[in-house]
């Protein structure tokens, strides 16, 4: 009997194990069995319910994720709109997860699917309303009430919970110019949607940004809400029950409801801070700015409460009354030395009519005190949506050094100084937008003294001894600006003509100023670029950019200006800054013993900075200027060997590098110069030395350059020199050719050498000619070429060809002279013995030729002359 029981037990255990194994096999294999059917069910459900183009890459079915429910995952799902928003993506996510009873899988592909939970992650929803008031979210296919199959091919939302993980919500309403962005949304809700009236338990965290009429009001504000929301599905009414929300760290509690009507929404809401602790005001700030609220000591109150009630429609908004208030409060961070006290706030945002334009903001009182420095302000803004009218008053003293002693802000730059303000302003935005600045009423002044600014973006600390702004009806006058940085000083005064257009209407800032300086050193204003600091960040620009928002005129007068190694004296002229360009007009300066006039421009408008300038150089020192200015040195390197002065006109244009100096490879233009009392010094010029060493009759240092005109043109790194006539005694010299900015040269030198420099033997031979022939042989043309580089020049000449041509010329003239001496004398000459005649003629002709060769050879291979003529 016992044996029989054991056998029966083994059979039961075996049956249980086999059953479990079978169930497990079924659970694992079912997704593969149902896969085709599932995809068809999903596709049918989508096509029957949504008027949009839906795509997904794959579906996965699991019986283990939410057992005993079946879990369906739709991967990389996208919902794209059809016309009139064709191609716009309404919804996309990496995952859409649906849970349902396993029995739902055994329905036919045409039957409805009853879902119990939905979740989605890593995606976004884009809601768009265009200017024609068309929206992209109304994609549900309306049901046909006359059909007997309305329950087929649909999704039955008997949901008990849902979840959003890392989602983004974008809302753009062009009709009302609203942009809402909610990102990093993590939201979950539980409730029985099978009931018409239910309580939905929700939990939400996100970052909120809001723009209205192109003005940003909220930017990545932390919001959270734990709330039980009563839902009446039949009446689409949502009521706040138990709840607590946060804006940053500010706690808020809500009461009331929102009801969706057929075309509008009905609001009846109240909200308030659960306590009146002044710490609530600090909590409004993002946590990275407010610090740890547990480390703050506060006194007094801060209350925020509001009522929102009414209908939101195309014509109306709900009325609201939102109050901010505080009385005689203070706060002090435990680890900071100073406190802010006597804080009083009385401010409201109100709309009583439901018309958006009737919204107004009142700041009846705002005061605070730091040590003995008190500040107060009040004002109001009305007609917010049509023509905002602003009326503001501010008065008080702020010590900038106190800011980081009362508030835990980490400034990258050091600030110091006293701001003393007593200003009032009253204006409407229509006047600002239309430039009707006469309608703006300003009064008062702002004075800043002992200001210091020190940061990475300046080369030296910037000190303002005193600056004063006076406000009048339609302009703001800078009456004083006395500043120093490094060894430079600045004094500026003038007018700002459209400050409000710049501030509110995105216009350029216009002004007219006088700029005076005793010492102005450009390097004092130029901080190291990221390239010199070896910052390896390709996204950072190292070039100086002229501000695009400036449209200003500066009448400049500076006693001393230093740029690199150049010292400019008595700089005067007009500088216009407009459209990212600096225009120089009649800028003049004393420099290099003379003066320079500037006209031209520098532009940073495009990706590469450019310049175009005309220079007028008057009696400046040649050697000093052409040695100091890299551009002039490259155009005429030989000039650094010339003493004396020059009058010159230079027209040049090109590209500026990141240090705002000309890129010589890009410059084009021309230079015309006239020398005054010049004197050459050959010791610093290999070119002049090689010329003097290879031309026996020429002392290069005694070339007469006085009054000569030189013309250079340059482009793509090549300088062309038009023929320049030089003077040396009665020798004619002309030089032309080209050189590069890399110091390669190719010069042609043409000599017209008088025969008297050819030696006594040659002149003796010429003297034997008849006077007429002798007069025709005055000089010999000789060509020379100088190549190589300025540091290693090469010299060549056509000496042999010139010599040969001269010999032939003189021999022929001598022969003709002898033939013309008379018939008898010629007869006697030719009656000598043939051998003697041939010998004599050959000897005379050869001797003549050899004398000329030797003379010219000595001419171009001069021995060292120990005496100077």
Name the β-bridge partners of 298: 331
pLDDT at 205 over 80: yes
The residue whose two tokens read 């945002």 is 349
* CB neighbours of residue 639 within 10 Å: 21
Residue 659, classed as helix, strand or coil, is coil
Count of residues in the chain: 869
Average pLDDT over residues 518-542: 56
- 491 in a domain, yes or no? no
Report DSSP state, residue 660.
Answer: S
Contacts with 334 (C-beta within 8 Å, 6 or more apart), sequence order: 295, 296, 297
Most confident of 72-76, 142-146, 720-724: 720-724
* 228 and 270 within one domain: no
**Confidence label for 7 from pLDDT (cuts 50, 70 and 90):** low
Average pLDDT over residues 533-554: 62
- 765 in a domain, yes or no? yes
pLDDT at 454: 80
Residue 10, classed as helix, strand or coil, is helix
Average pLDDT over residues 376-380: 96
CB 137, CB 169: distance < 8 Å: no
* 241 and 374 within one domain: no
The two tokens of residue 131 are: 């200017």
| 599-602 long-range Cβ contacts below 8 angstroms, 24+ apart | 602/546, 602/656, 602/660
* 293 and 196 within one domain: no
In sign, the C-alpha dihedral spanning 174, 175, 181, 185 is negative
Name the β-bridge partners of 66: 69
Q: What is the DSSP string of 180-248?
A: EEEEEEEEEEE--TTSSEEEEEEEEEEEEEEEETTEEEEEEEEEEEEEEEEEETTTTEEEEEEEEEEET
- 11 in a domain, yes or no? no
pLDDT at 505 over 90: no
Name the β-bridge partners of 664: none
Average pLDDT over residues 138-163: 61
Task: Return the beta strands (E) in 472-608 as ranges.
Answer: 476-485, 488-496, 509-521, 550-563, 566-578, 581-591, 594-603
Measured distance CA(335)–CA(164) in Å, rounded = 41
The two tokens of residue 306 are: 């509001």
Q: What is the DSSP string of 815-848?
A: HHHHHTT-HHHHHHHHSS-HHHHHHHHHHHHHHH
> Which is more confident, 273 or 858?
273
Measured distance CA(109)–CA(48) in Å, rounded = 12
Average pLDDT over residues 393-403: 91
> Which is more confident, 149 or 751?
751
* 214 and 66 within one domain: yes
Residue 854 backbone dihedrals phi, psi, to 5 degrees: -65, -40
Report DSSP state, residue 154.
Answer: S
| 223-227 long-range Cβ contacts below 8 angstroms, 24+ apart | 223/247, 226/202, 227/202, 227/254
Name the β-bridge partners of 350: 321, 360
pLDDT at 196 over 70: yes
The two tokens of residue 419 are: 């701001």
Average pLDDT over residues 56-73: 75
Q: What domain count does the chain have?
A: 3
Query: For residue range 104-124, what is the model confidence (pLDDT) as tens digits?
Result: 666 665 666 677 888 899 999
- Residue percentage of the chain with pLDDT more than 70: 78
CB 474, CB 540: distance < 8 Å: no
* 60 and 183 within one domain: yes
Most confident of 301-305, 310-314, 863-867: 301-305
The residue whose two tokens read 């060292």 is 864
pLDDT at 436: 81
Last residue of a domain, one of 336, 371, 391: 391
Q: Which of 612, 618, 580 is nearest to 599 (CA)?
A: 612
* 242 and 322 within one domain: no
CB 99, CB 117: distance < 8 Å: yes
Burial level of 222, CB count in 10 A (0-12/13-18/19+)?
middle
The two tokens of residue 450 are: 């002992």
Residue 699, classed as helix, strand or coil, is coil
Average pLDDT over residues 358-384: 93
Measured distance CA(589)–CA(517) in Å, rounded = 14
Q: Which of 716, 708, 711 is nearest to 650 (CA)?
A: 711
Tell me which H or E stretch contains 502: helix 499-504
pLDDT at 256 over 80: yes
Write down the H helix ranges in 50-66: none
Strands 197-212 and 296-299: unpaired
Query: For residue range 258-278, what is the model confidence (pLDDT) as tens digits?
Result: 998 877 889 999 999 988 889
* 267 and 380 within one domain: yes
Measured distance CA(222)–CA(238) in Å, rounded = 23
To 10 degrees, the CA torsion angle through 334, 340, 341, 342? -160
CB 141, CB 50: distance < 8 Å: yes
* 819 and 732 within one domain: yes
Measured distance CA(198)–CA(5) in Å, rounded = 55
CB 309, CB 265: distance < 8 Å: no
- 622 in a domain, yes or no? no
- Say which range, 449-458, 550-559, 714-723, has the weakest mean pLDDT: 449-458
pLDDT at 6 over 60: no
pLDDT at 153: 45
Query: For residue range 155-170, what is the model confidence (pLDDT) as tens digits?
Result: 555 678 889 999 999 9
pLDDT at 616: 94
CB 208, CB 225: distance < 8 Å: no
**What is the separation of C-alpha 60 from the centre of its chain, rounded to a whole number of angstroms?**
48
* 814 and 696 within one domain: yes
pLDDT at 32 over 60: no
pLDDT at 398 over 60: yes
pLDDT at 30 over 90: no
* 112 and 259 within one domain: no
- 204 in a domain, yes or no? yes
Measured distance CA(82)–CA(134) in Å, rounded = 13
Residue 193 backbone dihedrals phi, psi, to 5 degrees: -75, -5
CB 157, CB 196: distance < 8 Å: no
Last residue of a domain, one of 221, 247, 273: 247
Domain span at residue 124 reads 31-140+153-247
Name the β-bridge partners of 652: 613, 669
* 259 and 234 within one domain: no
**Confidence label for 743 from pLDDT (cuts 50, 70 and 90):** confident
Q: Is the peptide bond before 563 cis (omega within 30 degrees of 0)?
A: no
pLDDT at 474 over 90: no
**Confidence label for 215 from pLDDT (cuts 50, 70 and 90):** low
- 123 in a domain, yes or no? yes
Measured distance CA(389)–CA(737) in Å, rounded = 72
> Which is more confident, 516 or 116?
516
Q: Which of 652, 541, 562, 544 is nearest to 603 (CA)?
A: 544
171, 434, 760 from 93: Cα distances, Å:
17, 46, 105
**Confidence label for 865 from pLDDT (cuts 50, 70 and 90):** very low
pLDDT at 842 over 90: no
CB 464, CB 458: distance < 8 Å: no
Average pLDDT over residues 309-314: 88
* 332 and 196 within one domain: no
Question: What angle do the packed helices 799-819 and 823-830 form, to 10 degrees?
Answer: 110
CB 365, CB 345: distance < 8 Å: yes
- 48 in a domain, yes or no? yes
**Confidence label for 844 from pLDDT (cuts 50, 70 and 90):** low
The two tokens of residue 43 are: 């596709």
**Confidence label for 432 from pLDDT (cuts 50, 70 and 90):** confident
Tell me which H or E stretch contains 501: helix 499-504
pLDDT at 867 over 60: no
Residue 695, classed as helix, strand or coil, is coil
pLDDT at 157: 55
The two tokens of residue 685 are: 């010029």
- 481 in a domain, yes or no? no
Write down the H helix ranges in 275-341: 279-283, 287-290
Last residue of a domain, one of 247, 267, 288: 247
CB 178, CB 209: distance < 8 Å: no
Tell me which H or E stretch contains 465: strand 462-471
Tell me what the pLDDT averaged over the chain comes to.
80
> Diameter of the chain by CA atoms?
178
Average pLDDT over residues 717-743: 88
Average pLDDT over residues 473-493: 88
Residue 35, classed as helix, strand or coil, is helix
> Which is more confident, 569 or 459?
569
Report DSSP state, residue 301.
Answer: B
């Amino acid at each position: 009997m016992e044996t029989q029981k054991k056998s029966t037990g083994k059979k039961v255990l075996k049956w249980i194990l086999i059953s479990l194994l079978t169930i497990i096999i079924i659970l694992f294999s079912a997704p593969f069995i149902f896969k085709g059917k599932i995809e068809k069910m999903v596709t049918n459900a989508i096509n029957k319910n949504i008027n949009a183009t839906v795509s997904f890459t794959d579906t996965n079915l699991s019986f283990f994720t939410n057992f005993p429910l079946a879990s369906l995952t739709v991967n990389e799902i996208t919902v794209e709109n059809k016309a009139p928003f064709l191609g716009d993506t309404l919804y996309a996510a990496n995952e859409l997860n649906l849970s349902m009873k396993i029995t739902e899988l055994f329905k036919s592909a045409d039957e409805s699917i009853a879902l119990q939970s939905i979740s989605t992650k890593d995606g976004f929803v884009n809601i768009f309303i265009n200017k024609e008031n068309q929206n992209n979210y109304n994609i549900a296919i309306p049901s046909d009430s006359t059909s007997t199959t309305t329950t087929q091919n649909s999704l039955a939302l008997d949901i008990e919970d849902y979840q959003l993980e890392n989602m983004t919500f974008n809302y753009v309403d062009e009709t009302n110019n609203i942009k809402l962005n909610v990102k990093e949304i993590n939201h979950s809700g539980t409730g029985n949607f099978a009931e018409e009236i239910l309580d939905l338990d929700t939990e939400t965290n996100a970052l909120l940004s809001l723009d209205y009429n192109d003005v940003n009001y909220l930017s990545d504000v932390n919001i959270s809400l734990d709330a039980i929301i009563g839902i009446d599905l039949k009446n689409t009414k949502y009521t706040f029950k138990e709840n607590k929300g946060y804006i940053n760290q500010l706690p808020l509690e809500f009461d009331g409801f929102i009801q969706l009507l057929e075309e509008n929404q009905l609001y009846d809401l109240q909200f308030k801070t659960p306590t009146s602790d002044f710490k609530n005001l600090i909590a409004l700030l993002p946590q990275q700015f407010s610090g740890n609220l547990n480390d703050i000591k506060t006194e007094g109150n801060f209350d925020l409460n509001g009522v929102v009630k009414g209908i939101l429609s195309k014509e109306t908004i709900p009325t609201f009354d939102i109050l901010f208030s505080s009385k005689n409060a203070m706060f002090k961070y435990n680890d900071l030395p100073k406190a802010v006290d006597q804080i009083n706030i009385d401010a409201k945002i109100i709309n009583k009519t439901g018309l958006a334009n009737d919204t107004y903001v009142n700041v009846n009182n705002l005061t605070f005190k730091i040590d003995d420095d008190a500040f107060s302000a009040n004002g109001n803004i009305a007609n917010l949506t049509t023509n905002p009218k602003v009326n503001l008053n501010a008065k008080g003293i702020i010590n900038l050094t106190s800011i980081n002693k009362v508030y835990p802000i980490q400034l990258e730059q050091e600030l110091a100084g006293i701001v003393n303000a007593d200003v009032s302003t009253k204006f409407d935005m229509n006047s600002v937008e239309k430039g009707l600045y006469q309608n703006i009423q300003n009064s008062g002044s702002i004075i800043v003294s002992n200001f210091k600014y020190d940061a990475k973006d300046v080369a030296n600390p910037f000190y303002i001894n005193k600056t004063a702004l006076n406000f009048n009806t339609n302009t703001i006058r800078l009456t004083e600006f006395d500043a120093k940085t490094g060894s430079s000083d600045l004094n500026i005064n003038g007018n700002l003509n459209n400050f409000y257009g710049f501030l509110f209407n995105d216009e350029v800032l216009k002004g007219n100023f006088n700029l005076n300086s005793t010492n102005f050193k450009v390097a004092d204003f130029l901080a190291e670029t990221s390239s010199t600091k070896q910052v390896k960040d390709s996204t950072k620009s190292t070039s100086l950019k002229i501000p695009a928002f400036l449209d200003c005129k500066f009448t400049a007068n500076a006693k001393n200006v230093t740029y690199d190694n150049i010292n400019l004296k008595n700089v005067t002229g007009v500088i216009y800054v407009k459209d990212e360009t600096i225009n120089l007009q009649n800028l003049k300066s004393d420099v290099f013993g003379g003066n320079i006039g500037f006209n031209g421009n520098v532009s940073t408008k495009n990706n590469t900075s450019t310049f175009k300038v005309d220079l007028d150089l008057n009696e400046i020192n040649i050697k000093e200027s052409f040695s100091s200015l890299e551009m002039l040195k490259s155009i005429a390197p030989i000039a650094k060997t010339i003493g004396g002065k020059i009058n010159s006109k230079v027209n040049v244009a090109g590209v500026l590098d990141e240090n705002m100096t000309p890129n010589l490879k890009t410059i084009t233009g021309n230079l015309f110069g006239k020398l005054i009392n010049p004197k050459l010094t050959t010791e610093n010029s290999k070119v002049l030395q090689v010329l003097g060493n290879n031309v026996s009759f020429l002392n290069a240092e005694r070339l007469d350059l006085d009054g000569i005109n030189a013309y250079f043109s340059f482009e793509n790194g090549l300088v062309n020199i038009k023929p320049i006539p030089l003077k040396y005694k009665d020798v004619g010299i002309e030089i032309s050719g080209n050189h590069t900015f890399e110091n390669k040269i190719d010069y042609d030198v043409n000599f017209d050498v008088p025969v008297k420099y050819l030696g006594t033997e040659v002149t003796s031979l010429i003297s034997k000619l008849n006077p007429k022939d002798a007069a025709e042989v005055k000089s010999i043309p000789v060509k020379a070429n100088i190549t190589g580089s300025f540091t290693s020049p090469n010299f060549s000449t056509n000496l042999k060809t010139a010599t040969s041509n001269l010999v032939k010329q003189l021999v022929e003239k001598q022969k003709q002279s002898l033939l013309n001496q008379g018939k008898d004398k010629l007869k006697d000459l030719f009656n000598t013995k043939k051998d003697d005649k041939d010998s004599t003629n050959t000897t005379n002709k050869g001797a003549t030729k050899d004398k000329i060769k030797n003379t010219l050879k000595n001419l171009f291979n001069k021995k060292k002359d120990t005496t100077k003529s």
